[in-house]
Amino acid sequence: MIAMRNFFSAILLALTLTVWGQYIPNHQVDDHSDFYLDLSSGIDNHSGLLGIGFQLPLSSQVGMRAGFGFGSWGGKLSIGMKYQRYQKKGWGYGLGYSHCPGIEDIHLEFTDQNGNVNEAHLEYLQVGTLNFTINRNWTIKDHLMFFIESGYAVPIGGEEFYRVKGSYQPNASEKALLQVLRPGGLIFAVGLLVGL
């Protein structure tokens, strides 16, 4: 009787180990969509503060990226490459170029130390940035990923990025504010990739 119980226990243990061997706790679908809609927003984001992007996977790990939208410098157009594992949780890296055509006619109000309001009549000139990014992806469900992206946008286009059109000349602190508004610097964005 004891031998029979040991025999059944051994068979039950062998079946349990066989079934458990098929379990993969971090299993994720290898299948990826042929096209992704990129809904994201952020500082120096590839599609601006408000815009839309697209990703076209060339393989399970490499894809092309494009975006357009609006940010602090007006319109924005971007193109680049991404290295990331589509449909898998993990890290990704990107390299891209963004172009902002500028704003031809903009009026800004600056308040000085005495509380006086001065109006500056400016033209935002076209500028570009070379974008280096790193992102972290989480798969929410099949063909839907959440991501956080960070990096640095290197300004391209020279020192002159705006032109004064009126009589008021911005002071040093106002020039510093314009430098902050100009595309370039730290990148931080959050978004969703929706597979279509």
User: What pLDDT score was predicted for residue 27?
Assistant: 47
Contact 86, 61 (CB under 8 A): yes
The one-letter code for the residue type at 112 is: D
100 in Cβ contact with 45 (< 8 Å)? no
State the pLDDT confidence band at 113, using cuts at 50, 70 and 90. confident
Q: Which two tokens stand for residue 114?
A: 């005495």
Q: Report pLDDT digits (tens) over 50-108.
A: 999 999 999 988 999 999 999 999 999 999 999 988 777 899 999 999 999 999 999 98
Please, what is the end-to-end C-alpha distance for the chain in angstroms?
61
Q: What is the pLDDT of residues 80-93, one digit of tens each?
A: 999 988 777 899 99
Structure tokens at 19: 């079934």
Quote the pLDDT of residue 36.
Answer: 94
Q: How high does pLDDT run on average in the chain?
A: 87
- 33-195, what's its fold? Porin (2.40.160)
pTM: 0.78
What is the chain written as a DSSP string?
A: -HHHHHHHHHHHHHHHHHHHHT--TT-------S-EEEEEEEET-TT-SEEEEEEEESSSSEEEEEEEEEETTEEEEEEEEEEE-TTSSEEEEEEEEEEE--EEEEEEEEE-TTS-EEEEEEEEPPEEEEEEEEEEEEEEETTEEEEEEEEEEEEES-S--EEE-SSPPP-HHHHHHHHHHSS-EEEEEEEEEEE-
Show me where the domains of the chain are located.
Answer: 33-195
In this prediction, residue 11 carries a pLDDT of 61
> Distance between CA atoms of 20 and 71, rounded to whole angstroms?
52
